[in-house]
Amino acid sequence: MAQIAARKLTCEYLTNPLGVGTKTPRLSWVLESKQRAAKQAAYQVLVASSEKALGDDAGDLWDSGRVASDESLHIIYAGKPLASTQKVWWKVRVWDGAGAESTSEPAMFQLGLLEPGDWKAQWIGKSEAPPEGPLPALPPTMLRKGFKLDKPVKQATVFATALGLYELHLNGKTVGDYRLAPEWTNYLKRVQYQTYDVTSMVKEGENAVGAFLADGWYAGRVGIVQVMGAPPYKLRGWYGNWPHLRFQMHVTYEDGSQATVISDESWKSTTDGPIRSSCIYDGERYDAQKEIPGWDAPGFNDAAWKPVNVRPEMPTTLVAQHNEPMRATQEVKPVGVKETSPGVFVYDFGQIIAGVCRMKVAGAGPGMKLRLRHAEMLKADGNIYLDNLRIDDKTGIGARQEDEYVTKGGQETWEPRFTYHGFRFVELSGVAKGSSWMPTLETLTARVIRSSSPETAAFVCSTPMLNKLWSNILWTQRDNLPSIPTDCPQRDERMGWTGDILSFGQTAMFNMDLAAFMTKWLQDLRDDQATDGRFADFAPMPFDPDKRMSGVPAWGDAGVFVPWYHWVNYGDRKLLADHFEAARRWVDWIHSNNPDLLWKNKRHNDYGDWLNGDTLVLTAFGYPKGGTEVPKDLFGTAFFYQSTAYVAKMAKIIGRSDEAAKYAKLAEDIKAAFNREYVAEDGTVKGNTQSGYALALDMGLLPAEKRPIAAQKMREAIAAYKDHMSTGFHTTVRLMKQLTGAGMNDVAYQLINYDTIPSWGYSIKQGATTIWERWDGWVEGRKERDGFQDPGMNSFCHYSIGAVGEWMVRTILGINPDEMQPAYRHVLIRPLPGGGLTYAKGYYDSIRGRIGVDWKISGDRLSVKVTVPANIVATLQLPAPSKDAVTESGKKVGEREAVEGVTFVGFVPAGQAPAAQESVGYATSAGQGLATFSLGSGTYAFEVAGYQAPAKR
């Protein structure tokens, strides 16, 4: 029996995907082993044209042969050419170091429609063009067709998409569980199609297909239309005005013959169905009395329905969806409901979520118009707080987040289809006076809707507030994944703001496997790059990036940082190769406008270190009114440097050595210019702000001899701000990391442990269940506005300052990726206890398997359990008084090869920073030395005797 086994087989990051968009997909697996130091010595991939052939070990499409390699990621299919719609089965055999083999369970994938001529279906929409003008939302279209299948069906696959949003039905049932398909892209450049296996939904004989087709992002509202000029605002139609559906079903009969069913002129349409209007931002109105029974089933008489509008082509390109689809991923039950005035019921779900409510009504009779309004917070009087939704009745902008349901009578269950809201509280009103039906706690269930990227991390420690912080960070991410990484789920933005994911990117990739999700979004970002190389402030960018909303420091830089995080976490060379040109053009654009290498020109909307201390209204608490914002040209130049340095690294990785050298030189020159312009002889970074030091240290801009001085000055700047943070979106986690890196972990822990404003703990003390956009979103005792900040910008679900999740993983759990050996081929595990914590445990499910850490302090003993997945190497660093103080499973490990799987590397006594400090960025924790070991895979139980826990500040 081999020591290792291959599991979790994926194709292009997905498990058994349908509709794969390439003929040379990449295959990956995770290795598992119960043994220590288990390695894959070789692999063999078998790809077969049938399950049976694979079972017989016949790789009739591809047999890679035995490949002597430890690689388990991104193995490119190199067999017989695959054809559109082809379904294949595959498995992998792996050998361990002793030559024993094991074979995985089978997996499959099916190709999509890959040739331009594969699409026979027409685009179909409602019969008449929608009216032009700044209209509010329109009713979705219903489309249908009855069709006959002549013989018993062996296999049926649907390929479908829409310019708009769609929900498919076959024979009276909804197809699949995807929400808001085909999701948001720049529809003028590409639209994703979805693939469904519908074999069990169709049958020989009469069948029917139906679809709801709504405006969505394509023809409906998109956020902040007000940036595009004055009223009357364009309230719909940013990509197109008239939604169309494309549907193609491939049927293989039992006898091997084939048939197709496509969208064409034979379909019928109506807009007189139950959904009266739908809008992503404003919500959905549904009149159950207008339901059309049987419309999606065979035998329905659609004579009264209208013909469809048919278009052979639309100005877009169809691409296979390769990110995990949006789904309702979980349900949340209300924790309470109060009747705040007669007939007005306010539900509390105990958690801010993004999604919709499912409503159950029984015996209300017909025609009762029930209204659901969604809010994040309550006002002092117990009613819902809507001010931060920026609703303006005069111009129609804002996000109403309001659903309406008209009852039909009997037992009714409903949830809106083509909208989502950001909320914790829901106000239900409209219950008729004297109604025998009254809402109860069971009436509403909240359903979380997001891209279904798998969650990959867990964290728990001895400080409850930090556990809540972890939960708030994760929830904020769940609430901001509608196929793109958004800023917030509630007000009229919900855009793929680039700066937000730049700051939150590593945290996001710890929390979830975003390999596929980001592959899609980085394409969105490239699609909307301005012609001169500027990346947009958000992607997709429904407005013209050549004219506005592009080219901002730390926003546009996401076009370099996010692919870099992707590389570090997933090691995807193809993604870098696909993206490199775009990243290079961004840096070239900054350079061409700033030949003296300081980003002084063209910073466009120049948001700077957004929401830093200067934007807080905290003078009442004794905080200074200004002086905490890092100068914007310095800020821009730091990002210019870091982007250029990343571009140089990317060039090297993809083998473009001339460019690697060119950009490495440019980065060095920018660094020199930065130091000349912004760093004084005594180490003062211009502006003397916490943020400026955090940036300069974190990006490695300072010469080694100035780093300790700058760290000290950073510490002083914290002291000058009442020992609190004055950092904004882009510098908060950098400050935390650099405090730890400079041996001031006690200060970092102090900041994260606070519950005084501004701090994460403050929001938690006020009952936050997600991360607030502003440190002072709501302040106890503030007289103005019931304690709320300016409603013009005050989201309670914004992940940016939740980027501290990265610090929690890197420092408290101690799990650190290694960019030199990306995708966790090597991991640095270095838990640094502090802040009074007595234990912490958690894991990260890396692309190569689970990395686990579980530490506990009892008296003067530190116990650290570590799990390292098969085939990877970990460097473990433990704070310890001496090398002899460390044991593993009771055995001393301060000698070479003392214990299987553990190699002693070295010990650095207290007070001496490790040699690699500059690159690694962490010094030893106070009073302790640092013992370093190299670990193979396995589960280990280390103990440090004579351990002295750092004092809590």
At its nearest, how many Å lie between ligand BGC and the CB of residue 613? Answer: 16
Task: Kindly write out the interface string for residues 550-589 of this chain, putting x where it contacts ligand BGC by CB under 6 A and - elsewhere.
Answer: ----------------------------------------
Decide whether 85 or 498 has the Cβ nearer to ligand BGC: 498
Measured between alpha carbons, how far is residue 404 from residues 165, 212, 275, 337, 377 in Å? 19, 18, 10, 19, 21
Q: Does 499 bind ligand BGC (CB under 6 A)?
A: yes
At its nearest, how many Å lie between ligand BGC and the CB of residue 427? Answer: 24
- Assess contact for 854 and 865: CB atoms under 8 A: yes
Q: Tokens representing 821?
A: 């050996």
- Assess contact for 39 and 936: CB atoms under 8 A: yes
Task: Kindly write out the interface string for residues 256-295 of this chain, putting x where it contacts ligand BGC by CB under 6 A and - elsewhere.
Answer: ----------------------------------------
Decide whether 489 or 817 has the Cβ nearer to ligand BGC: 489
Decide whether 354 or 488 has the Cβ nearer to ligand BGC: 488
Decide whether 536 or 935 has the Cβ nearer to ligand BGC: 536
Query: Of residues 661-700, which lie at the interface with ligand BGC (CB under 6 A)?
Result: none
Distance CA 453, CA 319 (A): 19
**Phi/psi at 41 (nearest 5 deg)?**
-95, -30
- Burial of 292 (C-beta count, 10 Å sphere; 0-12/13-18/19+): middle
Count how many residues are written for the chain: 953
Task: Kindly write out the interface string for residues 318-347 of this chain, putting x where it contacts ligand BGC by CB under 6 A and - elsewhere.
Answer: ------------------------------
Q: How far is CA 691 from the centre of its chain?
A: 26
DSSP character at residue 764: H
Which residue in 487, 698, 806, 818 binds ligand BGC (CB under 6 A)? 487
Q: Which residues contact 824 (CB under 8 A, 6 or more apart)?
A: 569, 817, 818, 846, 847, 848, 851, 869, 872
At its nearest, how many Å lie between ligand BGC and the CB of residue 488? Answer: 6
Decide whether 493 or 524 has the Cβ nearer to ligand BGC: 493
Stretch that binds ligand BGC, among 95-103, 279-287, 497-505, 732-740 (CB under 6 A): 497-505
Q: How far is CA 275 from the centre of its chain?
A: 30
At its nearest, how many Å lie between ligand BGC and the CB of residue 490? Answer: 10
At its nearest, how many Å lie between ligand BGC and the CB of residue 495? Answer: 7
At its nearest, how many Å lie between ligand BGC and the CB of residue 223? Answer: 9
Q: Does 493 bind ligand BGC (CB under 6 A)?
A: yes
At its nearest, how many Å lie between ligand BGC and the CB of residue 224? Answer: 7
At residue 462, the 3 state secondary structure works out as coil
Supply the DSSP string of 426-443, one letter for each residue.
Answer: EEEE-PPTT-S----TTS
Active site residue 284: no
Q: What is the dihedral of CA 55, 56, 60, 62, to 10 degrees?
A: 60
Query: Of residues 798-817, which lie at the interface with ligand BGC (CB under 6 A)?
Result: 798
- Assess contact for 361 and 286: CB atoms under 8 A: no
Which residue in 196, 267, 610, 844 binds ligand BGC (CB under 6 A)? 610
At its nearest, how many Å lie between ligand BGC and the CB of residue 616? Answer: 16
Which residue in 488, 735, 809, 847 binds ligand BGC (CB under 6 A)? 488
Stretch that binds ligand BGC, among 72-80, 421-429, 492-500, 747-755 (CB under 6 A): 492-500
Stretch that binds ligand BGC, among 45-53, 415-423, 486-494, 830-838 (CB under 6 A): 486-494
Which residue in 96, 296, 324, 500 binds ligand BGC (CB under 6 A)? 500
Q: Does 95 bind ligand BGC (CB under 6 A)?
A: no
Decide whether 487 or 572 has the Cβ nearer to ligand BGC: 487
DSSP character at residue 803: G
Q: Does 793 bind ligand BGC (CB under 6 A)?
A: yes
**Phi/psi at 249 (nearest 5 deg)?**
-115, 130
Q: Does 607 bind ligand BGC (CB under 6 A)?
A: yes
Degrees, nearest 5: CA angle 266-267-270: 140
At residue 82, the 3 state secondary structure works out as coil
Decide whether 12 or 487 has the Cβ nearer to ligand BGC: 487
Supply the DSSP string of 633-687, one letter for each residue.
Answer: HHHHHHHHHHHHHHHHHHHHHTT-HHHHHHHHHHHHHHHHHHHHHHB-TTS-BTT
At its nearest, how many Å lie between ligand BGC and the CB of residue 380? Answer: 25
* Closest by Cα among 273, 270, 248 to 258: 248
At its nearest, how many Å lie between ligand BGC and the CB of residue 632? Answer: 12
At its nearest, how many Å lie between ligand BGC and the CB of residue 923? Answer: 33
* Closest by Cα among 505, 720, 687, 683 to 609: 687
Measured between alpha carbons, how far is residue 579 from residues 265, 352, 564, 585 in Å? 40, 35, 10, 10
Q: Does 772 bind ligand BGC (CB under 6 A)?
A: no
Total residues contacting ligand BGC by CB under 6 A comes to 10
Stretch that binds ligand BGC, among 29-37, 138-146, 375-383, 494-502 (CB under 6 A): 494-502
In angstroms, what is the C-alpha Rg of the chain? Answer: 29
At its nearest, how many Å lie between ligand BGC and the CB of residue 769? Answer: 19
Distance CA 98, CA 736 (A): 45
Catalytic member of 183, 402, 404, 493:
493
* Closest by Cα among 913, 833, 841, 912 to 878: 833
In this structure, the number of other CB atoms found within 10 A of the CB of residue 308 comes to 25
Decide whether 493 or 698 has the Cβ nearer to ligand BGC: 493
At its nearest, how many Å lie between ligand BGC and the CB of residue 159? Answer: 36
* Closest by Cα among 54, 70, 62 to 6: 70
Catalytic member of 284, 402, 773, 943:
773
Decide whether 282 or 500 has the Cβ nearer to ligand BGC: 500
Q: Does 349 bind ligand BGC (CB under 6 A)?
A: no
- Burial of 934 (C-beta count, 10 Å sphere; 0-12/13-18/19+): middle
Supply the DSSP string of 197-243, one letter for each residue.
Answer: E-GGG--SEEEEEEEEEE-HHHHS--S-GGGG-SSSP--S-SS-SS-
Decide whether 634 or 876 has the Cβ nearer to ligand BGC: 634
- Assess contact for 879 and 930: CB atoms under 8 A: yes
Decide whether 74 or 798 has the Cβ nearer to ligand BGC: 798
Decide whether 516 or 536 has the Cβ nearer to ligand BGC: 536
* Closest by Cα among 871, 947, 225, 95 to 548: 225
Decide whether 375 or 466 has the Cβ nearer to ligand BGC: 375
Stretch that binds ligand BGC, among 158-166, 495-503, 702-710, 752-760 (CB under 6 A): 495-503
Active site residue 773: yes
Q: Give the ranges where 426-547 is alpha helix by DSSP (H).
A: 464-478, 498-511, 515-527
DSSP character at residue 812: I
Stretch that binds ligand BGC, among 284-292, 319-327, 487-495, 589-597 (CB under 6 A): 487-495
Residues at the contact surface with ligand BGC, assessed by CB under 6 A: 487-488, 493, 497, 499-500, 607, 610, 793, 798
Q: Catalytic residue positions?
A: 493, 773
